[in-house]
Amino acid sequence: MTTTQPTPTRPTAPRASAEPSTGTRATLRRVRALARAEITLLLRNRVTLFNGVALAPLMVGLIAGVGGDRLLDLYVPGGAASAVMIMVIAFALTFVVYYNLTTVLVARREELVLKRLLVGECSRTEILVATVVPAAVVMGLQVILSVVVALVTIGTPTFANPVLIVVGVVGGLVVLAQLAVATSGITRTVESAQLTTLPGLVLLGIGAFIPVTVLPDWAVRVLELTPLNPVASLLRLGIGGVDAEGAPLDLAQTFEQGLRPLVVLVAWVLIGSLLARRSMRWEPRR
């Protein structure tokens, strides 16, 4: 009498999930979900939303209403339309991105939101990118509305080199977001952010809003190394198509003159990344 041995069954591999937790698609999904939550919180705060979006367009209308555009035409390279747009973008980067993002990160940290997010699937980079998205959206709305008001009340600039405009805005957004992350690490409370961001606000304001034509050469060289000055220089070349003295440039010359501020901007991206990694805190400061 013969017996048959049962054939051993091979263990089956677990079926892959429909949407893996790793990879580009999963990363984008998590960032999108976190960014949507941040934007929802922003929409509920009507006062903050109004201040972030409407103040700059109102300021542009006020400048045109009191005749400030005529003074800008006389004293600022590139003319009033170019100068107003550069001022609006620099203002948005300074306050909407740098200052507001610093306070948001401090508030999320002290409320243990960041610590709880780390327990889930999100990486630290994904959490930070999602936190930056609302600031970038508000900045974009502010700039678009301000440009529309400027086009109606002041005039149309040259828009000599759109590539330099995009590089300046995106590079400035990255640098200011990194500096906001770094500043949040040394800020204990939301209230103390008014003090800890003050040196950064002064440094950014000096680099963006002081005309180099009124400064000696050594001061201009120092000013060119500040974080926001290369952004303003790229925007001046891209929007106005003029050099620092107001001389008109063709397309090739704008690219040539944009190399130096581009190098400074890339250096600040690297410096900002280092500072953000060293200073960022994910748990409340005690």
| pLDDT for 217 | 83
Q: How far apart are CA 215 and CA 174, in angstroms?
A: 28
Low-confidence residues of the chain: pLDDT under 70:
1-22, 64, 66-78, 212-213, 286
pLDDT at site 170: 95
pLDDT at 28: 86
Query: Distances in Å between the alpha carbon of 134 and those of 108, 212, 285?
Result: 14, 33, 25
- Residue 112 corresponds to which tokens in the numbers above? 């243990």
Domain limits of the chain? Answer: 32-279
Where do the H-state alpha helices sit in 92-240?
A: 100-110, 113-119, 124-153, 162-185, 193-196, 198-209, 217-223, 229-235
3-class SS of residue 208 = helix
Q: What is the pLDDT of residue 237?
A: 92
Closest Cα partner for 154 from 81, 214, 253, 217? 81
What is the amino acid identity at position 100? N
Cα angle, residue 60 at apex, residues 86 and 78 outer, rounded to 5°: 40
Is the separation of the CB atoms in 284 and 187 below 8 Å?
A: no
